[in-house]
Amino acid sequence: AQSVAQPEDQVNVAEGNPLTVKCTYSVSGNPYLFWYVQYPNRGLQFLLKYITGDNLVKGSYGFEAEFNKSQTSCHLKKPSALVSDSALYFCAVRDLASGGSYIPTFGRGTSLIVHP
């Protein structure tokens, strides 16, 4: 079974400050983890994914994710936030146990608000 949690409904950060959007997961085997961003009235856009290897994954628009197996987390980070980063962010997981799930499980989403 696979599940994912985004513990914060909303994250507020000042422009120029670092940002973190949290994601924790639960799987039976090893995880594949994905981050997506959704701007208003748009579909989801892929940001980055953790498959294996390096625990720090770099993605689009200056975002990166830090995977931590012992804490079963994969938090999304950016060193310096922009107002244009304000959007809804989704974490998704696939469990590789039993051949892997073709259907990822998505978190409820975290609304990121970057203040000028």
Partner 1 sequence: GAGVSQSPSNKVTEKGKDVELRCDPISGHTALYWYRQRLGQGLEFLIYFQGNSAPDKSGLPSDRFSAERTGESVSTLTIQRTQQEDSAVYLCASSPTAQTYNEQFFGPGTRLTVL
34 counts as binding partner 1 under rule CB under 8 A: yes
Residue 77 found at the interface with partner 1 (CB under 8 A): no
Q: Is the CB of 22 or the CB of 49 nearer to partner 1?
A: 49
Residue 58 or 108 with smaller CB distance to partner 1: 108
Q: Candidates 11-19, 65-73, 74-82, 94-102 — which segment interacts with partner 1 by CB under 8 A?
A: 94-102
- Residue 15 or 22 having the CB closest to partner 1: 22
Long-range contacts from 36-39, C-beta under 8 angstroms, 24+ separation: 36/89, 36/90, 36/92, 37/61, 37/87, 37/88, 37/89, 37/90, 38/87, 38/88, 38/89, 38/90, 38/109, 39/87, 39/88
Task: Give the residue, chosen from 15, 26, 49, 64, that forms a contact with partner 1 under the rule CB under 8 A.
Answer: 49
Dist. CA 69–CA 66, nearest whole Å:
10
